[in-house]
Structure 1
Amino acid sequence: MSADAVPTLHISRTCPYAPPAEHRKLRVETPIAKVKLPNGRIVWVATSHKDIRAILSDPRFSSNRRDPNFPSLAYERPASSNLKPMLLELDPPEHGPARRAVLGEFTLQRINALGPRIQQIVDEHIDAMLAGPRPVDLVQALSLPVPSLVICELLGVPYADHEFFQKHSSVIVSQKLPADVIMGSVVELMTYLGKLVGAKAQNPTEDLLSRQIRKQLAETGAVDFEGMVSMAFLLLIAGHETTANMISLSTLVLLQHPEKLAAIKQDPSKTIGAVEELLRYFTIAESALGRVATADVEIGGVVIKAGEGVFALANTANRDPEVFENADELDLERGSRNHLAFGFGPHQCLGQNLARLELQIVIDTLFRRIPELRPAVPFEELSFKDSSTVYGMNEFPVTW
């Protein structure tokens, strides 16, 4: 097939929640297909739940974003080879030890211990909403500051600097800004985190970065500064961008389904299952699931050759009717955790337990404390993040 004959893959959602119709058509007709990305690169795309799980768990598919064949949705990919690879870019044998080194920070027991502090943060921000003028932008008043403050406290990043890293992280996750602009924000944020890690190496406190520094000093007698900065960079961006967008989208869709919202308000034990369904329903970070084959691999009856990139459309896979009955319906009692919202395989999201807990606390607290919450503008006037690698809302005016 000539390059001109390969269809261009458009990622923007025609509906705020559902995958584009062309993605659904691919899943039905050609679950493994060649497409052209907006930047002109030709890659394979996978759309079925079964095939994507196979790809994400197969060590013959590399996560190395420095590979020139790695698929990227950006119009121009920034050349970041001078920066130490992040955890999500590593392959075996480096990936396993690097992940295990920090995995203990995100166990269910350790994350649950953060529950009272997360609850306090949520309550403080809702207090401010109730005391202030209406309408209020939920994104700025609650969705963004809550996970930002949580990840800052967890890492040991001064929250006073949150506007700085939020500004740069929004640039870094953009699909459409020029490469030099994106790279400029990467360097700015890396420089900031380098100074922070250096300060903690001199004076460790009680936070994730300090614990990792003490651990490295005890084990090797030295601190891997570049590796520590790379880890902090990933956790800082991932720790607030994804959860913030999920808070806004979840609030919106629950307000649109008052009968479903009423059920979890009456029985908060249902919120845990509701969070899983909301994660499946939105799948906001699907564009993180790119891989490049390091050997010829047969997936779904198609051979992906060594050196070819493959892009996993998790949002489409999470609507796969072979896995999820009535997949396009929001069923808060579905009780399914086999979705791909956190990825799958060895690179499955490290902070998923934290994201689940934050969403559960925010949903329960927001609707309990502001039972009359409602959108302050018609649905048609809401603005969504169609040009970001993490889907969400630009702003969400609410009142009560």
Structure 2
Amino acid sequence: VGVAMRELPAFPFPADHALQPSPLLARARDGRAPIRVRLPYGATAWLVTRYEDARHVLGSPAFGRDPERAGIPEADIARTTPVEITVRTLLSTDPPDHTRLRRFVFRAFTPRRVEGLRAGAERVADRLVDAMVAAGPPADLFETFGLTLPIEVICDLLGVPAADRARFTAWTDALLSTTGKTAEQAAASIDAMNGYLAEQAGRRTRHPTDDLIGALVRERVEGDRLSPAEMVNLLRALLAAGHETTASQIPNFVYLLLRDGGYRRLADEPGLVPTAVEELLRYVPLITQGSLTRFVLEEVELGGVTLRRGDQVLVELAAANRDGTVFPDPEVLEIARGDNPHLAFGFGPHRCLGAALARMELQVALSTLTRRLPGLRLAVPSDEVPWDDDRFVRRPRRLPVTW
């Protein structure tokens, strides 16, 4: 078995550039059937690359996120990270339990509630640009703007004190590292974050608040429908996912816009920002390992291949989002692209709960930067921008800019 496993292609596939999907993904998609791959940790998995197949896996009850339902031990989950970062969170449950947990936080992320946060996000973005301008060029856009904007917004939503916010960046870095941290370091970060959030929840039990942590505490105390462990795990997933992906996408987006000329166009045509955000969401291969692993719960045929209970499946969103049967000229970044049914936020019951929040923050980021700094440009040649290569999500290590 060991020899057979070594003969399988290793995943993630190597790419020539961090923001350009590996050509092996297109080759796999053109084969029109899932292929078997081996991952750095855990077991082997089927890799799904076609748009139609991706939507089926993400939306069908034949595929789940709870490994126990498929009889898979936690250590055997196919993954690129030393530990499975979503175990015992909202992201690792299936309906009906997933539906119950999701309901507790859905109200915080409705489009109307998120739109109410836009003015505050715009104030944060303007303040960050003010600080950049005051310090003068060059600047690291990732550190001074991209990282700070989403963490301030999500921490305001949850009610995390400003003085504690830097700690979450370090904890999340350890959780999402694919090679730079050990399993013990990642587990220690989970424990530290859990302890901190439990402490914050305890304070709200004694002194109620109107933030999201306070709202979840009320659900637990008054409704007795949310266990203390469930509440802490929910908060940890929201806090990590609520800032990490957007903090990575802001510099990813700006890099591509500056490299390919779209930034100047947005400065001249600000009404294109929402459309540009959708196209960049489609175009950027954010996750390094496809989507979160799905587990086959009942025998099913997919792309002419029979998948059996206990098999594991990775949906490669970057490949699905460049499927030419759905997106004309899929390799072209067209910021005025019209119909754009991309899968950047997933699909089905696990579709990203914070999609509206992420869209709003990305729109605010691009609108503010192009309005305040229309002459922004890279401070180094585009091929000299350094990239993090040991993370669950793709992003530059630094994004040097000037104006």
User: 8 Å contact 2:345–2:351 — kept in the other structure?
Assistant: yes
In structure 1, the residue matched to 2:46 is 44
- The structure 2 residue matched to 1:219, chosen from 218, 223, 227, is 223
Structure 1's unaligned 5+ residue stretches are none
Counterparts in 2 of 1:35 and 1:78: CA distance versus 1, 3 Å: closer
In structure 2, the residue matched to 1:201 is 205
Per-residue deviation, 1:78: 5.6
In structure 2, the residue matched to 1:230 is 233
- The structure 1 residue matched to 2:167, chosen from 140, 152, 164, is 164
Per-residue deviation, 1:129: 0.4
The one-letter code sitting in structure 2 at the alignment partner of 1:27 is R
1:39-85 superposed Cα distances (whole Å, 9 cap, x missing partner): 373211101111111001111211125632532112x336997xxx1
In structure 2, the residue matched to 1:366 is 369
- Which stretch has the larger CA shift, 261-270 or 348-357? 261-270
The one-letter code sitting in structure 1 at the alignment partner of 2:55 is R
CA distance in 2, matches of 1:175, 1:114: 33
Secondary structure of the 2:397 match is: strand
Per-residue deviation, 1:395: 0.9
Per-residue deviation, 1:12: 4.4
CA distance in 1, matches of 2:7, 2:84: 28
User: 8 Å contact 1:12–1:386 — kept in the other structure?
Assistant: no
Per-residue deviation, 1:3: 2.3
Q: Are 2:71 and 1:71 equivalent residues in the alignment?
A: no
In structure 1, the residue matched to 2:278 is 276
- The structure 2 residue matched to 1:34, chosen from 36, 41, 44, is 36
Paired residues, number:
394
The one-letter code sitting in structure 2 at the alignment partner of 1:194 is A
Counterparts in 2 of 1:286 and 1:61: CA distance versus 1, 3 Å: farther
CA distance in 1, matches of 2:139, 2:348: 40
CA distance in 2, matches of 1:94, 1:329: 40
Moved over 6 A (4+): none
CA distance in 2, matches of 1:195, 1:156: 13
- The structure 1 residue matched to 2:342, chosen from 339, 342, 361, is 339
Per-residue deviation, 1:286: 5.8
Per-residue deviation, 1:144: 0.3
In structure 2, the residue matched to 1:316 is 319
In structure 1, the residue matched to 2:386 is 383
Counterparts in 2 of 1:79 and 1:114: CA distance versus 1, 3 Å: closer
Counterparts in 2 of 1:203 and 1:223: CA distance versus 1, 3 Å: farther
CA distance in 2, matches of 1:44, 1:286: 16
Secondary structure of the 1:385 match is: coil
Q: How does 1:139-154 map to 2 (within 5 A)?
A: 139-154=142-157
1:294-335 superposed Cα distances (whole Å, 9 cap, x missing partner): 111111111111001111111111111111111010011112
TM-score normalised per structure 2:
0.93
In structure 1, the residue matched to 2:195 is 191
The one-letter code sitting in structure 1 at the alignment partner of 2:394 is Y
TM-score normalised per structure 1:
0.94
CA distance in 1, matches of 2:217, 2:86: 25
Q: Give the root-mean-square deviation of aligned CA atoms.
A: 1.9
User: 8 Å contact 2:54–2:315 — kept in the other structure?
Assistant: yes
Per-residue deviation, 1:16: 2.5
The one-letter code sitting in structure 2 at the alignment partner of 1:125 is L
- The structure 1 residue matched to 2:183, chosen from 179, 191, 195, is 179
Taking only the aligned residue pairs, the percentage that are identical comes to 35
